[in-house]
Amino acid sequence: MRVLHLLVADGEIADGRRRVVATAGATFAESYANVLRDIAAAVVDTFTPADENATPPRDLGAYDGIAVTGSSLNIHKREPASLRQIEFVREVFARGIPMFGSCWGLQLAAVAAGGDVAPNRAGREIGFARHITLTEAGRSHALHAGRPPSFDAPAIHGDEVTRLPENAIVTAANGMSKIQAAEIRFGKSVFWGVQYHPEFSLHDVAAMVRRNRVSLLSEGFFSEQQDLDCYAADIDLLQGDRTRRDIAWRLGLNSEITEDRKRICEIANWISRQVMPSIFARC
């Protein structure tokens, strides 16, 4: 069987990518690419569609699947960096390439296909999305194969999809968002996306908390800087030693987050249930 060729589209602008590297050590796209390589031993390229005049390393037709990362942008503001990405995703839909998106990726695909995104009235969801519950459609959907009916996942978002386009299915929801996961059919392509971040390691979550310290303190998630630092430090400790049951218990984390294989469930399902069958169909 030939090697998979995948593309990761980084949703961040240049300044955002620098901030992510400063705290996490790698861009969203670089970290995502490593996850994909671990799952499928694939050749993975990265691309920054937010940048003016950016082009993928190869023609899009060379890729068996395309994943879209998170971003600190707000798509409802319709800034140039967002509009460029909307056009990119519409081209992917038109090409019929299997596509997956985390957080910003779900929002981007929804808007590109005719849906809407707005600030979440429930506020910011950050750190871990709790009690994500599969819908009736989600319980039998291949996107969530292997997931329990309810689970937690890494997350950060202040916006949410408020209206899905036609030919879309909600597969998961929780108390913070009625659309935590969805399938979108548009053009020639099928998109699977989640509002959470299955690709985030615990290290990524700790970095995310530190990167957003000003907002988290001002919004009351932590009463003081020391509390935030201790929380992030605990998450980093758990990343290095998954046997730290005391930390997992204190943070309310179970194996759906602490075990890498379970945490990346949806991405692995996308590779096996969408990307691989698409290759066979083209042979």
Calculate ∠ Cα 183-185-189, nearest 5°: 110
Phi, psi (deg, nearest 5) at residue 64 = -85, -20
Told to judge if 197 belongs to the known catalytic residues of this protein, a careful annotator would answer yes
CA distance linking residue 179 with residue 194, whole number of Å: 8
DSSP state of 2: P
Q: Out of 197, 256, 265, 266, which one is annotated catalytic?
A: 197
Considering only CA atoms, give the Rg of the chain.
Answer: 18
Set 125, 199, 256, 266: catalytic member: 199
Query: Three-class SS of residue 155?
Result: strand
Residues 12, 103, 141, 256: which is the catalytic one?
Answer: 103
Owner of token pair 């969805």: 182
* Residue 103 annotated as catalytic: yes
Angle between helix 14-24 and 28-40 (nearest 10):
70
| Torsions phi, psi for 39 (to 5 deg) | -75, -45
265 tagged catalytic: no
Q: Catalogue the active-site residues.
A: 103, 197, 199
